[in-house]
Amino acid sequence: MNMQRLARREFLVALGFLVPSLAGFAVFYLFPFGQSVLTSLQDRLGDGSWTLANYKELFLSSSFQKAAANTFWFTAISVPLLLTLSLSLALLLNQRVLFRDWLRTAYVLPLVVPVASIVLVWQILFDWNGALNAALQHFGLSRIDWMKSDWAGLVIVLIYVWKNIGYNVVLFLAGLQNIPDQYYEIADLEGAGRMRKLGITLTYLTPTTFLVVLMSVLNSFKVFRETYLVAGAYPHDRIYMMQHYMNNMFLSLDIHKLSAAAVLTAVSILALVAVLFRTERIFRSYME
């Protein structure tokens, strides 16, 4: 009985600490999202009748199709690239290399620099009169209007990778340092090569890799800030993302399409996260 009372008391104490956060989450996230779901299923605000016409119009919209396709391809390209580069840098920084401490600090700097400052640097590099075009002209090459051509997608990918690579490197370094050295010592005794040791590393980095992939995917949907500051509300077609579409629907007060787009985006993210969780669970059960 005493143990049950103690457990009940600890549960009530924990619930008391969680109530403020749960209330804030409900007021600012859960209730507004529920209202968006209801609005997306109505033909007008207030006492409108229920309909799926908003979703039908959304799927038939060329702007939505373009925004959804660009967002998909951006995530599909940038996340694997970011994962590969951050893991490679973490493996490098985990070794004894020259200026290791300085490099660790350098990769973390983008996390603490304001977004506006970051965008200003990239504008200086990729503007028509920017540093990169000046270098091209110096070597006798033609200037490129980077943000108004198909190169705009590459620029946004570079900004995304540069902004988020430091966070992923920190996570991978923490995961690498938690791998016991005895696994590598046993591998050395068995005469294992570098690829075999890399396999051991990747196997025991599975939980960290899952976290990094999850955070990278979520951050890929937040690239709107950088894109908006660099290219404005109506950028080149290659970098017209879902956030641009929803922002433009908000400016035109098309609340029904905005709500439908927000619901579809949330459902897509939840489905992707569910797949990641399922994959990680299957892999973990296979390892056990």
Task: Domain ranges for the chain, please list them.
Answer: 61-287
Residue 77 is predicted with a pLDDT of 92
Superfamily of domain 61-287: MetI-like (1.10.3720.10)
The rounded distance, in Å, linking the Cα atoms of 172 and 182 is 19
What is the chain's pLDDT, residue by residue, as a tens digit (288 residues)? 567 777 788 888 888 888 888 888 888 888 888 888 888 888 776 666 788 888 888 888 888 999 899 999 999 999 999 999 998 888 888 776 666 666 666 666 777 777 777 777 777 888 778 888 888 888 888 888 888 888 888 888 988 888 888 888 888 888 888 877 777 777 777 777 777 777 777 777 888 888 899 889 988 888 887 788 777 777 888 888 888 888 888 888 888 888 888 899 889 888 988 888 888 788 777 666
Res 189: pLDDT: 76
DSSP state of 61: -
Contact (CB, 8 A) for 251 and 232 = no
Q: Please report the pLDDT score of residue 44 as a whole number.
A: 73
> From CA 3, how far away is CA 9, in angstroms rounded?
10
Helix axes 224-231, 152-177, angle to 10 degrees: 150
Q: Give me the pLDDT at residue 105, please.
A: 67
Confidence at residue 231, expressed as pLDDT on a 0 to 100 scale:
77
- Distance, in Å, from the CA atom of 37 to the CA atom of 263, rounded to the nearest integer, reads 6
pLDDT for 79: 92
Q: Are 90 and 172 in contact (CB under 8 A)?
A: yes
Nearest in space to 234 (alpha carbons), one of 116, 148, 118: 148
Q: What pLDDT is recorded for position 7?
A: 77
